[in-house]
Amino acid sequence: MIAFLKKLLGLGPATDYTALVKAGAQIIDVRTKAEFEQGHIKGALNIPLNNLSNHYAKMKKDKPIITCCASGVRSAQAKHILTANGFTKVYNGGGWSSLKRKLG
């Protein structure tokens, strides 16, 4: 039960997003096109959350995927959707600007 709560609240070991990107992770930004155009992480793929299910073919199930958005809410939803559809290496990167800082 404690492990479940820690996972739910994100209280586990920190994710090394830089290592994931070096290992070929794809960054999926689930904000709207307008939000994405105002700023984004270089190389990120913009697939708005409401269109995510139409773009599974653009994502590789054998590679890590990092989701991001404005604050982390939509990216958490995207992670849940992708995991429910067979993607096994999905990480919620949270807000794109804080993820960008973590990536250097």
Q: What is the CATH number of the domain that holds 96?
A: 3.40.250.10
Residue 4 lies in a domain: no
How many domains are there within the chain? 1
Residue 3 lies in a domain: no
Residue 43 lies in a domain: yes
* Per-position DSSP letters for 6-59, written without gaps between them: HHHHT-SSPP-HHHHHHTTPEEEE-S-HHHHHT---TT-EE--GGGGGGGGGGS
H-run or E-run covering 73 = helix 73-84
Residue 40 lies in a domain: yes
Residue 10 lies in a domain: no
On the CB side of 1, CA atoms within 13 Å amount to: 0
Residues carrying an active site annotation: 69
pTM of the model: 0.87
Residue 50 lies in a domain: yes
Percent of the chain with pLDDT over 70: 88
Q: 24-44 pLDDT, tens per residue? A: 999 999 999 999 999 999 999
Q: 31-89 pLDDT, tens per residue? A: 999 999 999 999 999 999 999 999 999 898 889 999 999 999 999 999 999 999 999 99
H-run or E-run covering 90 = strand 90-95
Residue 7 lies in a domain: no
Residue 2 lies in a domain: no
Structural domain span for residue 36: 15-103
